[in-house]
A and B are shown apart, each in its own frame.
Chain A
Amino acid sequence: MSVFYTATDHFVLLPALLLALFGCATLLFDFWVFPDPKQRRWLLMFLVLGELFAAVAYWRQFDFLSSHGGELTAFNGALVVDHYSLFFHSIFLVTTLIVGLMSYRYMEVRDEHHGEYYGLLMLAQTGMFFLASGYELVTIFIGLETMAVTFYVLVGFLRSDKRSNEAALKYLLLGGLSSGFLAYGFSLLYGLAGSTKLVDIGRMAASRDANDPILLMALGTTAVGLLFKISAAPFHMWAPDAYEGAPTAITAFLAVGSKAASFALLLRLMVGPLGAARVAWEPILVAAAVLSIIIGNLAAVTQTNTKRLLAYSGINHAGYILLGIVAGNPTGIKGVLIYLLVYTFMTLGAFAVLIALTRKGLAGEDINDLNGLMKKAPGYGIAMLIFLVSLAGIPPTGGFFGKYYIFLSLIETGHYSLAVFAALFVAVSVYYYFRLIRAVFVDTEEQETPALSTSFGLKVGLGITGVMTLVLGMYPEPFLRLAQLSISR
């Protein structure tokens, strides 16, 4: 340990170190220790082990913060650990774990089961770590790119599937463009503040006139880059294609992990250092939120492919979460955190059911493929029902609480027209979620449908997500306390 790598630095960086090491070790073990394709399950076990180690490291950080309070900064303020970042780290951890568990059978069925897959999952999570914990522009940008590049590869993982190739290429080209915008915004922020640290940028934003054209341009380009990553309209064009073409487990990872990580950064930037320039960014986010809710809802109505439908529903949810940032008061931020937590579980769960529908030679992505699910496999049917009801935001599921806090914060801050608008569009979303629910209950005409492709891991993932979606709806107090803790400084 030296001045440049202190014990605090190590303590803060440890989870990322563990994830990166386990990720790299998985890449090595794939051909070195477990070359036989039948031994892939050990790589999955290895991923679970890595997440366990990371969980312990996070728990120690949480323990430290609980007893000492405040936050820990490391590497001259390049990284920060506070309850806010730990909240997001746990979302990433659960997401990666569940995605890993539900991938196993799916990748076998799609005939593209490779050991690198599990290593890349963990490396993507390492990138997300720096999005939630980064407190300096270069660290944040490199973290974002690590996550994005991993996703470009994972989206195109089904190499023999033309749709997967197309999705990867589209995501790569548009993702590169959005990264360019983000880099432009970051460079302007650096130029204005003379430092890449968010602390200094906050000081700069507070000292400048909020209508300063240069600051406005920096904010605008940064927002464009991040709005792309959370697939908010009008930067959502890539989402339906990428979601449809990607392996379903990766679609879930993209919809939840990538979105939550980008929201972690967006929320920290906008409410934290750039909070002084609220008048400049509020119209941008309001416009993006309103467009996302309109486009996401109206386009979802006509979809027949379930993955595309969930993509548009994801755009719609991004709009609601953005409204929480627009409100920006403690209720709103708490709403954003709770919404993201619920969104994680219900979206992962819905995709897990879709994975179970994927069988050899049957994509299982059409709405009609859900037909008769309740009769064939009541467990999966009930789980799907819970997730869809939650996605629509109906009590007693968690989705209701997410929307409730967003609406509450909008009313508290006097955004009445936005609240009414958002509430009206909930009705539209109920329509297309109930189309899916109807399909689950409807009887099938054809008699011979192959059995669901399921696995122990998939069942575990489905169980966790289903139970959590319900628990968040019926007994949300502990999670509300956790969210409250995250926003208190």
Chain B
Amino acid sequence: MTDIAFFYAFAALTVLGAILTVTLRNAIHCAIALIASLAGIAGLYLLQKAEFLFVVQIMLYIGGVMVLFLFVIMLVNLDGAAKERQYHRHWLAAVACLIGTGAIFAAFLHRGAGSLKLESPLPVVPGAGNVETLSMVLFREYLVPFEVASLLLLVAVVGGVMMAKKRID
């Protein structure tokens, strides 16, 4: 029972934070709303007994990534951008799409709830902690995607630098 209460609390925090991140005008406020959203996800990880992900989420995302975000926001003058007109003309259509898609998903989930018996995930290695189990899965079962993910990050970094660097003529 408390689990369910906690789940809804964290889920609400996540969704509200995400909504505020895209709707607030001030970039600093957006970043802080994003922190709330990420903290909500961390809470969800904890409810799933994924302690390692919980710690990593807080240290890397809230600690590392967000501090970098705030640095960039403070270094780049965004006052002008906040005053600029934003493209909100289609928000009615957007809300209609959101409600429509949400209704379809909800209907499917509701109708399928009876047959929804999720399979149990990989058996937990007895005696091993969360981190050990995770590392076993990550470096054995999912070794290839783990290594390809590093390639993905490399491409993203190279691409980011390519786009951002000044032209040298």
Interface residues of A (CB under 8 A from B): 4-5, 13, 20, 24, 27, 75-76, 78-79, 114, 116, 119-120, 123, 126-127, 130, 136, 138-139, 141-143, 145-146, 149-150, 152-153, 156-157, 159-160, 191-195, 204, 208-209, 212-217
Contact = CB atoms under 8 A, between A and B. Distances in A.
A153 B155 contact: yes
Given A4-B143, A142-B152, A216 B108 contact: yes
Given A146-B151, A195-B119, A212-B112, A153 B163 contact: yes
A157 B158 CA distance: 12
Interface in B6-23: none
17 contacts: A76-B140, A76-B141, A78-B144, A78-B145, A120-B155, A123-B154, A127-B151, A127-B152, A136-B145, A138-B142, A138-B145, A139-B142, A139-B144, A149-B152, A149-B159, A153-B158, A209-B115
Contacts of B167: 159-160
A99 B120 CA distance: 46
B159 A153 contact: yes
Given A142-B148, A195-B119, A214 B162 contact: no
B60 interface: no
A194 B120 contact: yes
B115 A208 contact: yes
Given A24-B154, A138-B145, A153 B120 contact: no
Interface string B132-146: 000000011111110
A298 B142 CA distance: 45
Contact of B145 (A114, A139, A156, A208): A139
Interface in B30-48: none
Contact of A150 (B143, B148, B155): B155
Which among B105, B144, B151 has the highest number of chain A CB atoms within 10 Å? B144
The binding surface of chain B is classed by DSSP as: helix
A250 to B, nearest CB: 13
Which among B118, B119, B155, B159 has the highest number of chain A CB atoms within 10 Å? B155
Contact of B159 (A78, A120, A209, A215): A120
A142 B149 contact: yes
The binding surface of chain A is classed by DSSP as: helix
B158 A119 contact: yes
Contacts of B115: 208-209, 212-214
A149 B156 contact: yes
Which among A24, A145, A149 has the highest number of chain B CB atoms within 10 Å? A149
A471 B40 CA distance: 59
Contacts of A76: 140-141
Interface residues on B, range: 20 to 34
Contact of B112 (A24, A143, A213): A213
Which among B111, B121, B139, B152 has the highest number of chain A CB atoms within 10 Å? B152
Nearest to A16: B148
Nearest to A154: B159
A213 B108 contact: yes
Nearest to B149: A142
A149 B162 CA distance: 13
Contacts of A27: 158
Nearest to A79: B144
B6 to A, nearest CB: 21
B65 interface: no
B158 A156 contact: no
A114 B112 contact: no
Contacts of B163: 153, 156, 159
A141 B142 CA distance: 12
B92 to A, nearest CB: 19
Given A136-B145, A153-B162, A204-B119, 14 more contacts: A27-B158, A78-B143, A78-B145, A119-B158, A123-B151, A130-B144, A130-B148, A138-B145, A139-B148, A153-B155, A153-B159, A159-B163, A209-B115, A212-B112
Contact of A145 (B116, B119, B152, B154): B152
B68 interface: no
Nearest to B119: A194
Nearest to A145: B152
B109 interface: yes
B144 A13 contact: yes
B145 A214 contact: no
Nearest to A143: B148
A352 to B, nearest CB: 25
